[in-house]
Amino acid sequence: MSIKKICLAGLFVLAGPIFALAAQSGAAAAADRPALDAFAAAHFGRTDAPPVSFLYGGKLSSAFLAGWQAAVEPPAAGSAGDKTLKSVVYTDPATHLRVTITSTVYRDFPAVEWVVRLKNDGPADTPIIENLMACDIRLPAFGDGPVTIYRALGSSADRSDFAPVQDVLSAAGTVRFGPSGGRSSDSTALPFFNVAAAGRGIMAGVGWSGKWRAAVTKTDARGLRLEAGMDATHFKLHPGEEVRTASIALLFWKAGDRLDGHNLWRRFVLAHHTPRPRGVPVELPLSAGVGFGGPFPCNEYVCATEAGALAAIDRLKQFGLEVDNCWIDAGWYENATKSWWSGVGSWEVNRANFPRGLKPVTDAARAWGNKGFVLWFEPERVYEGTRLDREHPDWLTTLPGNANRLLNLGDKQALAWLTDHIASFLKAEGVTVYRQDFNFDPAPYWKAMDAPDRVGIAEMKHVEGLYSFWDGLLARVPGLLIDNCASGGRRIDLETIGRSVPLWRTDYSYFEPNGYQCHTYGLHLFLPASGTGNNSTRKYEFRSSMNGAVVTGWEINASFNVVQAVEDIAEFRALRPYFYGDFYPLTEYSTSDDAWSAMQWDRPDGRDGIVLAFRRPMALNASITILPRGLDPAGDYEVSFDDYGITLIKNGKELAGGLAIKIPDAPGSLLIKYRRVR
């Protein structure tokens, strides 16, 4: 039987009604402005209870902070476009410790965020500050019944990266979570989560690119306590010394469905925490590797050459493979060995392979239709014997028996040198996308730097230095995009996503499509902008990689399917805008090869959307029923199945009631497009 006949024989069948959509459902209707206003009024006034807690000289801040001098100081209460800013400063009259809480209340979203700074304005060291929680709030009437925390794992280079996690508190109790190491989304926790009760909830984000922890406590039948901040703090401040800790964002939602809260958060992230180089969220690129390193003993891009990179660009151009960026990863720099990692710390071009530097290669990319160029760095790691290790050991922290050193971004001289060197390098060599990796855990180095009465100081200064470094690059290199990589996606948080995007979000088994589907499912509940890799033009594999950005590792040889590659690129460009829409998982999460995976992205403003469905290789059932979301039950929709050449016109209520779809082959994929026509 032909595919056409299979389609006509019932590939797309409307199932019976399963649920009805309310006319005012969705993320927009979920905004809980009264809850935000009440929260802001209770916590960010001069005489209010600040949303922070710590011990100071052994005493809990709630016992004394209200008695300190309090004043609104610059930035004074005021407006900045779509947000209202306020700084409240609490000063201890005895020791002159200043605690500044700077809050931002958004007008276009029911969201607030704040950051806490501490400064010693006294003549002597402060008493010990410990257990500093940037967020410590109590909501005595949060809601009746169980509380569910919807969150996700971080990245550990596994198929289960970003896997959804649900923790249910039916009675009084606490759920605690945080990353396993010193990178903010390492392995055990992503720093975004949704705390939901009956009909309402709070989306939360932690902005700390180090080791953080959070706790959600159901205090009684209705009450809730939320804590978040750095994992370990026990420090004194020297005279004149100032530090900052984690930033916190809360978004208040009300709805019958927690996915409305997730989608309201996605819209907030797009509006206020996504790079916007031209006033709109950055369009993520389709990139192609052009510096492959060659056979063993070469690895990564160590054996890449100018001639090879120019030939790769010519090859892409020859076959009409119109990517946005060309890409060279680890290994292009000075290095005494054939191992890419042994050269980190010498950020100068390997002149044996690139005798004229990288400029001839980046110029060739720009001449070919103004293509951008992605270049890899790992500046925080310095390998023994490299240039920085030889010339500036005073900037480095070492551990016994470990060849890796940590460049201390809390050192002002090191930070100034790095910012100047990398910014100048990017401009001189024509690099438009700065790719920063971070392939080891900094927490042991920070611990080694801290004295017993300074626990947390090294981490605070390093993390703030990272933000200053990225801000400096963005200011000095016009139009620069930063790609945030840390062994894949191990440093994703509220502070990094506003400055960067993870174009390679996981180091899980390169190009494995079923795992990539799982990663999209979990990460898109919180983060609309990310990318991953692809090395196959087959529809199933390429569609599994699509989610805003794609990095191709295509080897254009005799077996390469050029026609399919051109089709894939065209399809990616057509679908790319949809990945910024509202996100709905349409199947249960599963890492199994015998499962289906189906996901929907809906654009309410465009009144259209897409569904990507995957029948994995061992899935026995050739059909499933999906429940499309976000549709107007009174509207008519044109539903297109381009893979089979079929278009249907169906009512929104019928579609929401259930759509049975079939994929004859395993593995196989199906793209469904829809748009409202009435």
Specify whether 13 is located in the same domain as 85. Answer: no
Q: Contact at 8 Å (CB) between 659 and 608?
A: no
Q: List Cα–Cα distances, 23 to 49, 127, 258, in angstroms.
A: 39, 58, 17
pLDDT at 7 over 50: no
Whether 410 is covered by a domain: the verdict is no
Q: Contact at 8 Å (CB) between 251 and 226?
A: no
Residue at which a domain ends, from 221, 254, 272: 272
Q: List Cα–Cα distances, 124 to 90, 264, 323, 608, in angstroms.
A: 18, 47, 59, 63
Cα 660 to the center of its chain, rounded Å? 33
Which structure tokens are listed for 143? 């809601």
Determine the 3-state secondary structure of 286 from DSSP: strand
Determine the 3-state secondary structure of 365 from DSSP: helix
pLDDT 10s digits, 169-210: 999 999 999 999 999 999 999 999 999 999 999 999 999 999
Q: List Cα–Cα distances, 615 to 63, 509, 579, 669, in angstroms.
A: 58, 20, 20, 6
What kind and span of H or E run contains 582? strand 582-585
Average pLDDT over the chain, rounded to whole?
93
Q: Contact at 8 Å (CB) between 488 and 161?
A: yes
Determine the 3-state secondary structure of 416 from DSSP: helix
- Structure confidence at residue 10 (pLDDT): 35
Cross-strand pairs, 288? 326, 552
Residue at which a domain ends, from 219, 247, 272: 272
pLDDT at 155 over 60: yes
Q: Which of these, 56, 411, 495, lies nearest to 233 by C-alpha position?
A: 56
Whether 180 is covered by a domain: the verdict is yes
Burial grade of 385 (CB within 10 A; 0-12, 13-18, 19 or more): middle
The DSSP letter of residue 567 is H
Cross-strand pairs, 481? 433
pLDDT 10s digits, 562-586: 999 999 999 999 999 999 999 999 9
**Structural domains in the chain (count):** 2
- Structure confidence at residue 281 (pLDDT): 82
Whether 221 is covered by a domain: the verdict is yes
- Structure confidence at residue 476 (pLDDT): 97
Q: Which of these, 671, 672, 628, 632, lies nearest to 648 by C-alpha position?
A: 672
What letters, b where the CB count within 10 A reaches 16 and e where it falls short, cover 458-495? bbbbbbbbbbbbbebbbeebeebbbbbbbbbbbbbbbb
Residue 81 binned pLDDT confidence (cut-offs 50, 70, 90): confident
Strands 636-641 vs 668-676: parallel, antiparallel or unpaired:
antiparallel
Specify whether 235 is located in the same domain as 128. Answer: yes
Specify whether 158 is located in the same domain as 10. Answer: no
Specify whether 158 is located in the same domain as 239. Answer: yes
pLDDT at 137 over 90: yes
Determine the 3-state secondary structure of 495 from DSSP: helix
The DSSP letter of residue 667 is S
Q: Contact at 8 Å (CB) between 532 and 485?
A: no
Task: Read off the CATH number of the domain in which 592 is found.
Answer: 2.60.40.1180
Specify whether 52 is located in the same domain as 115. Answer: yes
Whether 618 is covered by a domain: the verdict is yes
Report how far residue 189's alpha carbon sits from residue 176's, in angstroms, rounded to the nearest whole number.
Answer: 10
Span 440-457, mean pLDDT?
98
Task: Read off the CATH number of the domain in which 204 is found.
Answer: 2.70.98.60
pLDDT at 11 over 60: no
Cross-strand pairs, 238? none
CA atoms within 13 A on the CB side of 158: 13
Whether 97 is covered by a domain: the verdict is yes
Residue 78 binned pLDDT confidence (cut-offs 50, 70, 90): low
Report how far residue 139's alpha carbon sits from residue 219's, in angstroms, rounded to the nearest whole number.
Answer: 9
Cα 339 to the center of its chain, rounded Å? 29
Determine the 3-state secondary structure of 208 from DSSP: coil
Q: Contact at 8 Å (CB) between 493 and 206?
A: yes
CB atoms within 10 A of CB 393: 12
Q: Contact at 8 Å (CB) between 302 and 354?
A: no
- Structure confidence at residue 280 (pLDDT): 78
Cross-strand pairs, 186? 155
CB neighbours of 34 closer than 8 A, spacing ≥ 6?
none
Identify whether 297 is preceded by a cis peptide bond (ω within 30 of 0): yes
pLDDT 10s digits, 391-437: 999 999 999 999 999 999 999 999 999 999 999 999 999 999 999 99
Cross-strand pairs, 659? 14, 626
Report how far residue 635's alpha carbon sits from residue 676's, in angstroms, rounded to the nearest whole number.
Answer: 7
Its domain, for residue 262, covers: 28-272
Least confident range from 49-63, 258-272, 278-292: namely 278-292
Whether 420 is covered by a domain: the verdict is no
Report how far residue 111's alpha carbon sits from residue 135's, in angstroms, rounded to the nearest whole number.
Answer: 15
Q: Note the residue count of the chain.
A: 678
Least confident range from 228-237, 248-257, 517-526: namely 248-257
pLDDT at 24 over 70: no
Fill in the amino acid letter for 251: L
Strands 668-676 vs 83-91: parallel, antiparallel or unpaired:
unpaired
Instruction: Give me the DSSP letters along 134-203.
Output: SEEEEETTS-SS-EEEEEE--BSSSTTTT-EEEEEESSSEEEEE--SSSSTTBSS--SEEEEEETTEEEE
Span 349-357, mean pLDDT?
97
- Structure confidence at residue 5 (pLDDT): 28
Whether 60 is covered by a domain: the verdict is yes
Specify whether 16 is located in the same domain as 136. Answer: no
Which structure tokens are listed for 275? 């790079």
- Structure confidence at residue 209 (pLDDT): 98
Specify whether 264 is located in the same domain as 182. Answer: yes
Q: Given its phi and psi angles, is residue 249 left (phi above 0), alpha (psi -120 to 50 degrees) or beta?
A: beta
Q: Contact at 8 Å (CB) between 436 and 426?
A: no
Specify whether 121 is located in the same domain as 20. Answer: no
- Structure confidence at residue 296 (pLDDT): 84
Whether 110 is covered by a domain: the verdict is yes
pLDDT 10s digits, 587-603: 999 999 999 999 999 99
pLDDT 10s digits, 285-318: 999 999 877 788 888 899 999 999 999 999 999 9
End-to-end CA distance of the chain: 35
Specify whether 208 is located in the same domain as 126. Answer: yes
Is the pTM higher than 0.85? The answer reads: yes
- Structure confidence at residue 73 (pLDDT): 80
Specify whether 18 is located in the same domain as 37. Answer: no
- Structure confidence at residue 47 (pLDDT): 74
Span 653-678, mean pLDDT?
97
Residue at which a domain ends, from 218, 242, 272: 272
Span 146-169, mean pLDDT?
98
Specify whether 255 is located in the same domain as 150. Answer: yes
Report how far residue 509's alpha carbon sits from residue 501's, in angstroms, rounded to the nearest whole number.
Answer: 21
Specify whether 13 is located in the same domain as 150. Answer: no
Q: Which of these, 363, 343, 341, 365, lies nearest to 352 by C-alpha position?
A: 343
